[in-house]
Copies of this chain bind each other. A is one copy, B any other.
Amino acid sequence: MGELETVRVGIVGASGYGGVQLVRLIRDHPQLDLVYLGGDSSAGKPFSDLYPHLSQATDLIIESVDVDTIADRCQVVFLSLPNGLAYQMAPRLLEKGCKVLDLSADYRFSNLETYKNWYGGDRADAETAAVAVYGLPELYRDRIKDAQLVGCPGCYPTASILALAPLLKQGMIVPNSAIIDAKSGISGAGRQAKTNLLLAEADNSVAAYGVGRHRHTPEIESIGSDLAGQDILVQFTPHLMPMVRGILSTVYATLRDPGLVREDLVTIYTAFYRNSPWVRVLPAGVFPQTKWAMNSNMCYLGVEIDQRTDRAIVISAIDNLLKGQAGQAIQCLNIMMGWDETLGLPELGFYP
């Protein structure tokens, strides 16, 4: 084991929930050495000013963002910024030889027109976008291996695509029949002080948002179409849950072949994810709760077929900040570096 040499990594956008997960994960990773934290709004502050209990985890000071400094210092850079900032920085970091993993939406779309339709902005980095790889290892492990730039999936798309992929890949469902009803813990909205995210407002309440127009829709459709080998549409509705972490995605799709039973689905899913250590297909009749995945990089899948309606129902549970964000980014990096995909990542949280 190459224990002698570690890889120097930096995080741009360290103050948010994505950043703090990365700090925490990198600390426990045997091959990574955190050498840089960047962020304009908190520049000059020790990281532990933002998260006092992490003073034993790092004594780094957050620095204002400068590409040359980053590239001098880091071999690998995680960008954990609001949408629309990574594409202003990634091309130069790549040029200087850094590997880049972007946690925003900026490099999730091979087709920049789709990006612009849903996210707006005017960008001129089509060449860079063209070499970016979608960082969902269970589907694109081989491409990630050779990538210099990874666009890490959104939290909802991770949960939704892992639930749908075997059905789409094997042409088992009626195109456009997929309905994804997703439920997320509130940390998915980030560490921003907004009224609707206050405990007083959000506790003991459930609500849908972005009905018919959430920006994770085209991301799911784009990857789903790639899997299906044809353009597909999905219905995606996210809901805010009165809890901190976790996504449960309940996916409905009409089967092409009504003769299947749920044990078939267990077999098909198990085979599909045979080489994926971070997906666990549950036995027939068992459905996951998000708490099982909390503080872990695991995605749990429960499958069902309703023979009355000829629909498959697949339920996925992940931790939105780990498998749905920072954990998956580390998983991608493990693959990029030729390490074991599970290296340094938490398999189990504590229960309850």
**A interface residues with partner B (beta carbon < 8 Å):** 17, 20-21, 24, 27, 51-54, 56-57, 176, 179, 181, 183, 185-187, 189, 191, 193-195, 197-209, 211-212, 233, 235, 237, 239, 241-246, 248, 250, 252, 280, 282, 286-295, 298, 300, 302, 304-306, 308-309, 311, 313, 315, 317, 321-322, 346-352
| Chain B residues, CB < 8 A from A290 | 204-207
Bound-state Cα–Cα, A51 to B198, Å:
15
Query: Whose C-beta in chain B lies nearest to the C-beta of A20?
Result: B351
Closest CB of chain B to A311's CB: distance in Å?
Answer: 6
Q: How far is the CB of A271 from chain B (nearest CB, A)?
A: 18
Whether A308 lies near B248 (C-beta < 8 A) is no
Q: CA A299 – CA B95 in complex, angstroms?
A: 46
A239 neighbours in B (Cβ, 8 Å): 183, 248, 250
| Residue pair B204, A245 in contact (C-beta under 8 Å) | yes
Beyond A183-B183, A304-B211, is A205–B53 a contact (Cβ under 8 Å)? no
With a cutoff of 8 Å between Cβ atoms, the chain B residues found around residue A20 in the complex are 351
Q: Say yes or no: B237 contacts A250, CB within 8 Å.
A: yes
B56 touches A204 (CB 8 A): no
Integer count of this chain's copies in the complex:
4
A to B CB contacts below 8 Å, 21 in the list: A52-B286, A53-B298, A53-B300, A54-B348, A181-B250, A183-B206, A185-B204, A186-B199, A197-B199, A205-B246, A205-B294, A206-B248, A206-B290, A207-B248, A207-B287, A208-B315, A211-B306, A212-B306, A235-B252, A242-B242, A295-B295
Cα separation A205 to B244 with both chains bound (whole Å): 9
CA distance A17 to B350 in the complex (A): 10
Known: A243-B206, A352-B244. A288 touches B53 (CB 8 A): yes
The answer to whether A200 touches B244 (Cβ under 8 A) is: yes
Q: A41 CB to closest chain B CB, in angstroms?
A: 12
- A313, B205: Cβ atoms under 8 Å? no
Inter-chain contacts of A321 with B (CB < 8 A): 350
User: Bound state CA distance, A183 and B243, in angstroms?
Assistant: 14
Q: Give complex CA distance A202, B291 in Å.
A: 8
A197 to B193, CA, bound (A): 8
Q: How far, in Å, is A110 (CB) from chain B's closest CB?
A: 20
Report which of B53, B198, B246, B351 forms a contact with A198, defined as CB distance below 8 A: B198
Known contacts A211-B304, A212-B306, A52 near B292 by CB under 8 Å: yes
Residues of B within 8 A of A181 (CB): 181, 250, 252
Task: Decide if B52 touches A282 in the complex (CB within 8 Å).
Answer: yes
A243, B205: Cβ atoms closer than 8 Å: yes
Report the nearest B residue to A296, measured CB to CB. B53
Bound: A245/B350 CA distance, A: 10
